[in-house]
Amino acid sequence: MESAIPEHLRTTRTRHRRIPDDYAPPYPSFVARHKPGVARVVMAYFGVQARDASSKAAGEALAWITTCFESDAGPTHWDRARYIDEAGFSNIVTVAYWDDRAKFDGWFPTARDGWTGDRRALDGVGTFIEVLYPSVEGYETLFSSLGRPEGIAVLADGMSGEVQEHAYWGGMRDRIPLSQTSELAPAGAARAIRDGARIRVIPHDNLCLIRSGQDWVDTEASERNMYLGDVEPVLREGMDFLRDEGRSIGCYANRYMTVTAPDGRPIEKSYGMSWWKSLAALERWAESHPTHVRIFGAAMKYLSTLGPAAKLRLYHEVTVARTDEAFFEYFDCHPQTGMLNAVQRADTA
């Protein structure tokens, strides 16, 4: 048993964990471990928004960003997924990961210019960029099994052994190294800067992002039926609540995404990604909303019972970012897109 916080990120605490030192979780979970030399990572979401996801314009946009990724300074890993949003638009989101901020900074200007900027040549689609570049103290991961990393964990040096800080409410916070000394409270106000069809959003401090995924590729008959019949509908209900009513509880936006193969066809993986006013708001929803409480209860029971025999894979990554660790830009997107929900009006640049 080891701490989710690696040795080199441990510091003198001013804030306590929620569990006693002898706490033993009821089932195993694991976290991604970067090399100690990694100080900061980049999680960059490139979105295409269109009435018709199979349109020529959408296809060209996806092909263009894919080409950008292939440059030397491109991401170490990326994946693509889609969903239909509350306004009826298809959103195809390509998420790219770096563990070298300087490399990203060298790569990004061209991609930004072509996606939401001055040299934009993507007609007929809305586009957006949502990027966090947190220090390694500012985020955490969690995996129910080994062998198939997702998201930022694909870039890691490897996975931990069984960690202690999980399977209780508050584990998410306790796994973030900054929680050793910070409440991670939001500060300031998000604001928007409008420049024609392009809107930049400057978020408040300690904005929170969660990407939380499911992978049922390996499940067989009975487990697959259980996931699709019992778990997924409850998960979907929770995702719909956040999408439609999340604003009232501090969730700016939620996307329940279906992961796609390179040819665009759906594969048996999904993830929810949501932007939150604070880690605390995410905690309150997770702990008290009936749909998520049921999901948590089901997962506890499921993983405690099946243990390593479970073929369903669950993971998430949760980040708390400072204002200067985030970049948001929306071009010709509808007003309920992502972090546009966090601002009341857009100042003209």
9 binds a second copy (CB under 8 A): no
Tell me whether residue 183 or residue 240 sits nearer to a second copy (CB atom).
183
Q: What is the DSSP letter of 205?
A: B
Find the shortest distance in angstroms from Cβ 330 to a second copy: 28
15 binds a second copy (CB under 8 A): yes
Catalytic residue among 34, 77, 316, 334: 316
185 binds a second copy (CB under 8 A): yes
Kindly tell me which residue out of 120, 168, 193, 232 binds a second copy, with binding defined by CB under 8 A. 168
Q: Which stretch binds a second copy (CB under 8 A): 32-40, 45-53, 74-82, 278-286?
A: 278-286
- Three-state SS at 263: coil
**Count of residues binding a second copy (CB under 8 A)?**
25
Q: Which of 140, 81, 148, 175 is nearest to 312 (CA)?
A: 148
The beta-carbon contacts of 53-58 under 8 Å, at least 24 apart in sequence, are 53/82, 53/90, 53/92, 55/124, 55/125, 56/124, 57/122, 57/123, 57/124, 57/125, 58/90, 58/92, 58/125
154 binds a second copy (CB under 8 A): no
Q: Which stretch binds a second copy (CB under 8 A): 16-24, 39-47, 104-112, 257-265?
A: 16-24
Tell me whether residue 57 or residue 300 sits nearer to a second copy (CB atom).
300
284 binds a second copy (CB under 8 A): yes
Q: Which stretch binds a second copy (CB under 8 A): 41-49, 81-89, 118-126, 280-288?
A: 280-288
CA distance 264 to 331: 23
Residue 249 C-alpha from the chain's centroid: 18
Instruction: Answer yes or no: 316 catalytic.
Output: yes
CA distance 349 to 220: 55
Kindly tell me which residue out of 300, 306, 323, 334 binds a second copy, with binding defined by CB under 8 A. 300
Q: Which of 347, 330, 327, 349 is nearest to 191 (CA)?
A: 347
Q: Which sequence positions are flagged as catalytic? A: 316
Residues binding a second copy (CB under 8 A): 15-16, 18-20, 23, 26, 167-170, 183, 185, 278, 280, 284, 287-288, 290, 293-294, 296-297, 300-301
